[in-house]
Amino acid sequence: MQITLVILKPSAVQRGILGEVTTRFEKKGIQIVGMKMVRLDDKILAEHYAHLLNKPFYGRIKDSMQASPVVVMALKGIDVVNAVRKLAGVTNGREAQPGTIRGDYSMSVQENIVHAADSPEAAATELKRFFSEGEIFDYTSHLTPYFYANDEL
């Protein structure tokens, strides 16, 4: 099974929809194995968005991501990186399909509710960035057999 990172952005925190968004993952059958609320400082944002540091819109991203604390989550499941990205929808909320998190809750390319790692490699890097050893838990969910066929596990 894979583990991926999701950040519930300030747009989710400020709008009071953390529970609704988290429930979407749980109802899909994705297991939460780590979760905490944090404030993102300049250093961690520069590291996380290193590929965008020289873009003219980086300041807008930084301001947005520091508007309030965020919730970082470690999510586990089979092909979970892909499953989470499909649940999240495309980056621009105006273009995201209804039924996706962004399609249902966002009208913005920036204030788009969630960040989701885009590959297993990125997920591994991002999980190390936001979680310390011992903050991601390995436990058996007794509902797993109801989300996966026995030959998928």
Give domain status of residue 14, yes or no. yes
What's this model's pTM, rounded to 2 decimal places?
0.95
> What six digits make up the tokens of 113?
């509710």
Annotated catalytic residues are 115
Give domain status of residue 152, yes or no. no
pLDDT of residue 70: 98
Q: Are 131 and 125 in contact (CB under 8 A)?
A: no
- 89 Cβ neighbours under 8 A, 6+ residues apart: 96, 97, 100, 101, 102, 103
> What six digits make up the tokens of 82?
């892909």
pLDDT of residue 50: 95
Mean pLDDT value of segment 83-87 = 98
CATH number at residue 61: 3.30.70.141
Give domain status of residue 33, yes or no. yes
Give domain status of residue 89, yes or no. yes
Domain encompassing residue 141: 2-147
Percent of the chain with pLDDT over 70: 100
Give domain status of residue 153, yes or no. no
Question: Domain count of the chain?
Answer: 1
